[in-house]
Amino acid sequence: MVLKTVDHPSSLMTNFLRRCGGSAVLDGGLATELERHGADLKDPLWSAKCLLSSPHLIRRVHLDYLEAGANIIISSSYQATLQGFEAKGISRKEGEALLEKSVKIACEARDIFKERATKGLWDVSATLDHEQAPILVAASVGSYGAYLSDGSEYSGSYEDGVSLDSLKDFHRRRVEVLAASGADLVAFETIPNKLEAKAYAELLEEEGVEIPAWFSFSCKDGANVVSGDPIEECAAIADSCDQVIGVGINCTAPRFVHQLIQSIKKATNKPILIYPNSGETYDANTKEWVKSSGVSDVDFVSYVKKWREAGASLVGGCCRTTPNTIRAISKALETLL
Report whether 20 belongs to an annotated binding site. no
Report whether 318 belongs to an annotated binding site. yes
Residue 191 φ then ψ, to 5°: -70, 125
- Close Cβ partners of 289 (under 8 Å, ≥ 6 residues apart): 278, 280, 281, 282, 283, 319, 320
Binding residues: 251, 318-319
Per the annotation, where are the binding residues for Zn(2+)?
A: 251, 318-319
